[in-house]
Chains A and B, each alone.
Chain A
Amino acid sequence: MTLTDDEMTQAEPDAGLEIGKDRRRKEDQRLITGRTRWTDNLVLPGMLHLAMVRSPFAHARITNIDTSMAKAAPNVVTVITGAEVADEQGGLPNAWPITPDQVTPNHPPIAVDRVVFAGEIVAVVAARTAAEARDAAELVDIDYEELPAALDLKEAAAATPENGGALAHPDLGTNRSALWTFDSAEAGTGGNVDEAIARARTDGIVIEREYRQQRLIPAFMEPRSTVVDPTGEQITMWSATQIPHILKFLLAAVTGVSESKIRVIAPDVGGGFGGKLQTTPEEFITFLLARRLGKPVKYTETRSESLMAAHHGRDQWQRLTLSAEKNGRVTGFKVELLADLGSHVSLVGGGVPVLGAFMFNAIYKFPAYQFNVQTVLTNKTWTDAYRGAGRPEATYAVERIMDELAAEVGVDPLEIRERNWITHEEFPFTTVAGLEYDSGNYEAATARAKELFGYDELRAEQRARREAGDRVQLGIGVSTFTEMCGLAPSRVLGSLDYGAGGWEHASVRMLPTGKVEVLTGASAHGQGHETAFSQIVADRLGVAFEDVEVLHGDTMVSHKGLDTYGSRSLVVGGEAIVRAADKVIEKARPIAAHLLEAAADDLEFKAGRFSVKGTDQGMAMAEVALATFAAHNLPDGVEASLDSDATFDPVNFNYPHGTHLCAMEVDTETGQVTMRKYAACDDVGNIINPLIVSGQLHGGLVQGISQALWEEAVYDDSGTLVTGSFVDYLLPTSADTISFDLDHTTSPATTNSLGTKGVGEAGTIASTPAVVNAVVDAVRHLGVNDIRMPCTPERVWKAIAQARGGAAGGGGQAETVGAAAPHFDESTGMEGTVDRTTGGSDA
């Protein structure tokens, strides 16, 4: 495989400008030499270490806890239980109650009386060393009385006190947390779905499907770690978190400690993917014990603890009904979801499926749409945002069912998309879900992706292999996706009952030496903010890239912000930096005018220099900075400062898009799947740093591919996490993956002056359906029309075997590969052998 994405380097960036350059990252020097500031590196004088005693049961009453032996162990300082600190500990916050009547269980950081998932904290040991704390944790003696556990999502949704189904929280009387709905007829954005489906049942196509979004674990490489130092005037918390600012605010809100007395530092953070977008019990416990003991306290989780008790993602059942005319034009789409929240409604977990609600119409002009999600409590680890949060789930469903429609109509999957998508002349376009897409060009991205992939050649090879009855068949998967990212706008988030806004803050400070300090509220965990933000400021202020210092991840330094998630750093935080830099220029202008003895209006600012129009008179920003610092000769009433602040709150989300194509080889005898080729053309608007953008895409692609092929959090019948280590929870390795062929088109965003769109989640959102569509495409002619994720060899083999046994209907009866016709027929474009189970229900 050639590594061609050097070609992503854009067309001729302006040689004088930083934006568009493949700048090597500023962050890397410390990371490649081992001088990184991980939270777990921190050692403070007198620091104590914590170990957590965790429940082995999914649901049980705690009948007795004996901590006496643990307390007597060497160098143990204290052992606490939930009951002992119940007065002191507030419940963990839920920032997104999606309906006014949402059922939200109280969420103490340490269980009191009852445990509700395997891995929940029951007692905490503080000792001189981590090893001593862990040893003593083994000595805490707890008696449990096991209770029936709500584990299966569908069963949990149906459980009531009357039917005897297990309830995750029996006191609540239900596992149903909230029902959230959207209907285009009611919202005035489209027609009535039920009418569209009824029409199609008599004169059209109706496809009903049920898809499973398996439970995933974010599995950031750096385990979570927290250190709290209560000595001094402020309480300082270091945490491996994505959200230092939100964490500070919520610590204050929950504990009653004044916000001004709390400082949160997220030093270098080793990945997040949404998994560190949380206020964790472990953080609250460390904070509480540090205050109680008056000493610095550290807690670092083990990987097993992380997999068991840091939040999980996805976990939905999706029931879909799509109606279309016979030519494949969609007339309506109805979506019914069950979403597993786990044992608690976590910080934003309840809202994740709501974010997805807006994406089920994807890139299409669906005329009628209805969405409803029932969130459900179970006795498992709670779920929350995981890379893409809601959008991958939606994109998977719609891109899978569009393939089913293509098969029904008998056309190429790209053709069915073309019949339904928004054309580039139609932007801006308001969708049936109520979003306004500002810009995009699906035709151009698709054309480029096809070329990069060698679409026609691979289709020809696929036909040849089918005709020859090869044991190994080739499948081609298509995913034409868009997503909404760059969270804000605050007003929209407010209308969805999200507890905070989505603005971002920046400060830009012109220093006396002519260097620049930039403070951003967008706190990075591997995305390269220091580099990309330096490029923006260098261009704006006309200073050298090396002369810009970007500071983040410390609430005392960058005191305001809403942190990093939802691909918002560049498009919201980057624009805040632009605006703060512009204010610096405007503050410098009257000073420069005064020194140049010219009128401020006569000055133009370009490439770091103020010039008097029409003359060769001028001075550099650095000279203005020094003169401002000296303040010997400032105009009257002008402050001696070139510091500036700005917050930015965009008027809209932004909508990256792209076409992803995947070729999978499927061994029809063993079910083994092998990726042959992956090519994609993405459109993320203007690109600040092509190197970073391609890196984000590569990582995102593998996370999405991994959902399709390998990853799944599995619980056994008693509620124990079976995939409790990296032995069982399969992260892909270098040997499992291939290199990618990527390119891009450019439709600048219209809602920020940089014209950029988010990229961090795009690859993950796009790749999962591309891969599964390819696997199904490889064996569709055998009668297979779905394989549940992850598409393990066993599942693929079973699907083929069932189809061959006739269970999956029509084409499944084919005994020899070559005997079945292709699922679409290019010669007619319309008629072909199709799976006639569609129109019925396989749910």
Chain B
Amino acid sequence: MTRINLTVDGSRVSDEVEPRMLLVQYLREKLGKTGTVIGCDTSNCGACTVHLDGVSVKSCNVLAVQADGGEVTTIEGLAQDGELHQVQKSFRECHGLQCGFCTPGMIMQSVDLLKTNPNPSEQEIRVGLEGNLCRCTGYHNIVRSVQHAAAATGGAQ
């Protein structure tokens, strides 16, 4: 067991974890942050995407001990002061989700994408979300959601 200290959605946490525990397991099982979900065991689906020190990562691809000292944001910490993040609002506005299982990861990836490229083209959005699988929407409305968020935050879509 190894002790780790990190900040998750603004709260400081400290735990003993097995060295093999994945960050996604730590978030779900130890912290009850079940907004982050597990969709595959090969790091292909992206459903577990969170931000680690401000950058999107697949949390099934990171050991909890590797996150020691870091700052993690999950879908549950994205809204600030009761106000949804613009990307969350846009997914709702543009029907960018159906069953919603991929949605937390998709939103976290989109937030990161827009941070690095505030005004992406359709193709840049498509490539930027390539690591996140969705089986319901056919991606059409996910792309629109990101375009909508970009426009709402000053991008010129």
Q: When each residue 71-104 of chain B gets 1 if its CB lies under 8 Å from chain A and 0 otherwise, what string results?
A: 0001110110000100010011101011111111
The dominant DSSP class at the A interface is loop
Chain A residue contacts of B35, Cβ below 8 A: 33-36
* From B92, B103, B129, contact of A733 by CB (8 A): B129
Task: Give residues 209-229 of A contacting B (CB, 8 Å).
Answer: 219-223
B104→A34 contact, CB < 8 A: yes
Q: Is the CB of A699 within 8 A of B44?
A: no
Residue contact A526 to B100, C-beta cutoff 8 Å: yes
Contacts of B140 in A (CB 8 A): 3, 5, 698, 737, 739-740
How far apart sit A430 and B107, CA to CA, in the bound complex (Å)? 48
Q: Which residues of A contact B147 (CB under 8 A)?
A: 3
Binds B, one of A21-29, A56-64, A147-155, A583-591: A21-29
- Is A1 a contact of B135 with CB atoms below 8 Å? no
User: Within the assembled complex, what's the spacing in Å between the Cα atoms of A303 and B126?
Assistant: 24
Judge whether B138 is part of the interface by a CB distance below 8 angstroms. yes
In the complex, chain B residues whose CB is within 8 Å of the CB of A735: 126-127, 129-130
Q: Which of chain B's residues has its CB closest to A724's CB?
A: B42
Interface size on A, residues (CB 8 A): 60
Contacting B at CB under 8 A, from A783-805, are: none
Contact with B74, one of A34, A701, A703 (Cβ below 8 angstroms): A34
Report the Cα distance A112→B133, complex, angstroms.
37
A25 to B145, CA, bound (A): 14
Is B40 a contact of A734 with CB atoms below 8 Å? no
Q: Decide: A33 near B79, CB < 8 A? Known: A3-B140, A735-B127.
A: yes
Could you tell me the distance in whole angstroms from the C-beta of A560 to the nearest C-beta in chain B? 24
B98 vs chain A, min Cβ distance (A): 4
Q: Is the CB of B101 within 8 A of A271?
A: yes
Q: Is A427 an interface residue (CB 8 A)?
A: no
Report the minimum CB–CB distance from A356 to chain B (whole Å). Answer: 23
Check A731 against B135 for contact (C-beta < 8 Å).
Answer: yes
A31 located at the interface, meaning its Cβ lies under 8 Å from any Cβ of chain B in the complex? yes
Nearest residue, chain A, Cβ from B85: A32
Residues of B within 8 A of A3 (CB): 140, 143-144, 147
- B45 to A221, Cβ gap below 8 A? yes
Asked whether A528 is an interface residue with its Cβ less than 8 Å from the other chain, the reply is yes
Does the CB pair A221–B134 fall under 8 Å? yes
Count B interface residues, CB 8 Å.
Answer: 58
Instruction: Tell me which of B99, B139, B147 has the highest count of chain A C-beta atoms within 10 A of its own C-beta.
Output: B99
Bound Cα distance A695, B129 (Å): 18
Whether the pair A739, B143 counts as a contact (CB closer than 8 A) is: yes
Residue pair A222, B101 in contact (C-beta under 8 Å)? yes
Contacts of B31 in A (CB 8 A): none
A645 CB, min distance to chain B CBs, angstroms: 29
Q: Given known contacts A34-B34, A699-B136, A702-B138, is B40 in contact with A303 (CB within 8 Å)?
A: yes
The CA of A24 and the CA of B18, in the complex, are separated in Å by 43
Check: B65 CB closer than 8 A to any chain A CB: no
Tell me the complex Cα distance, A256–B93, Å.
Answer: 48
Q: Does A498 contact B (CB under 8 A)?
A: no
- Given known A-B contacts A268-B100, A526-B99, A33 and B44 have beta carbons under 8 A apart: no
- Distance in Å: Cβ of A396 to nearest Cβ of chain B: 19
A38 within 8 A of B: yes
Q: Which of B18, B37, B127 has the most CB of A within 10 A?
A: B37
Residue of A nearest to B79 (CB): A33
Contact B79 A695 (CB under 8 A): no
Q: Which of B99-125 contact A (CB under 8 A)?
A: 99-104, 107, 122, 125
A3-B144, A735-B127 known; A28+B97 contact, CB < 8 A? yes
Q: Tell yes or no: B36 within 8 A of A by CB.
A: yes
Least Cβ distance of B83 to chain A in Å? Answer: 11
- Chain A CB within 10 Å — which of B47, B127, B139 has the most? B139
The answer to whether A33 and B138 have CB atoms under 8 Å apart is no
CB of A24 within 8 A of CB of B99, answer no
Which of B34, B78, B92, B125 makes the CB contact (< 8 A) with A29? B92
Complex formed: what's the CA distance from A790 to B97 in Å? 27
Cα A795 to Cα B92 with chains together (Å): 40
A25-B133 CB under 8 A given contacts A221-B47, A528-B98, A702-B138? no
A526 CA to B36 CA in the complex, in Å? Answer: 18
Whether B84 pairs with A32 at a CB distance below 8 angstroms is yes
Residues of A within 8 A of B138 (CB): 698-703, 737, 740, 763
CB pair B122 A691 closer than 8 Å: no
How far does the alpha carbon of A700 sit from the alpha carbon of B139 in the complex, in Å?
Answer: 11
Q: What is the minimal beta-carbon distance from A241 to any residue of chain B, in angstroms?
A: 13
A29 to B98, CA, bound (A): 12
* Contact partners of B36 in chain A: CB under 8 A: 34
Pair B100/A734 contact, Cβ less than 8 Å: no
* Nearest chain A residue, comparing its CB with the CB of B89: A32
Residues in A with CB closer than 8 Å to B144 are 3
Asked if B23 is at the interface of the complex by the 8 Å CB criterion, the answer is no
From residue A432, how far is it (CB to closest CB) to chain B in Å?
A: 34
In contact, A33 and B75 (Cβ under 8 angstroms): yes
CB-based contact B41/A304 at 8 Å: yes
Q: Are A222 and B37 in contact (CB under 8 A)?
A: yes
8 Å CB interface, A693-743 against B: 694-696, 698-703, 725-727, 731-735, 737, 739-740
B66 at the interface (CB under 8 A from A): no
- A750 interface contact, C-beta 8 A: no
Verify if B14 is at the interface (C-beta below 8 Å from A).
Answer: no
- B57 CB-CB contact with A under 8 Å: no
Q: Name the residue of chain A whose CB is nearest to the CB of B87.
A: A32
- The answer to whether A32 and B88 touch (CB under 8 A), given A698-B137, A698-B141, A731-B133, is yes
Q: Is B64 an interface residue (CB 8 A)?
A: no
Kindly state whether residue A231 has any CB partner on chain B within 8 Å: no
Report B42-57 residues with CB < 8 Å from chain A CB. 42, 44-45, 47
Query: Among B28, B74, B92, B135, which residue has its beta carbon within 8 angstroms of that of A699?
Result: B135
Give Cα A528 to B18, complex, Å. 40
Report whether B98 and A527 are in contact in the complex, using a CB–CB cutoff of 8 Å.
yes
| B101 nearest CB neighbor, chain A only | A270
- Measured between beta carbons, the chain A residues less than 8 angstroms from B107 are 32
Q: Shortest Cβ distance from B72 into chain A, in angstroms?
A: 13
A726 in complex: contacting residue of B33, B44, B76, CB < 8 Å: B44
Whether B76 pairs with A33 at a CB distance below 8 angstroms is yes
Q: How far is the CB of B140 from chain A (nearest CB, A)?
A: 4
Assess A221 versus B102: contact at CB under 8 Å? Given A695-B141, A725-B44, A734-B139: yes
Task: Given contact pairs A131-B20, A699-B135, enumerate 19 new A-B contacts (beta carbons under 8 Å).
Answer: A3-B140, A5-B140, A24-B93, A24-B95, A28-B100, A31-B100, A32-B91, A32-B104, A34-B75, A36-B101, A40-B38, A220-B99, A221-B133, A221-B136, A698-B138, A702-B139, A733-B130, A734-B129, A735-B126
List residues of A whose CB falls within 8 A of some B CB. 1, 3, 5, 24-25, 27-36, 38, 40-41, 43, 131, 219-223, 268-271, 273, 302-304, 525-528, 691-692, 694-696, 698-703, 725-727, 731-735, 737, 739-740, 763
Binding site for A on B (CB under 8 A): 18, 20, 28, 32-42, 44-45, 47, 74-76, 78-79, 84, 88, 91-93, 95, 97-104, 107, 122, 125-127, 129-144, 147
A/B interface sample: 20 pairs, CB < 8 A: A24-B93, A25-B92, A34-B75, A35-B76, A36-B35, A41-B28, A221-B39, A221-B135, A223-B39, A304-B41, A304-B42, A525-B99, A695-B95, A695-B137, A699-B135, A699-B136, A725-B41, A733-B129, A734-B132, A739-B140
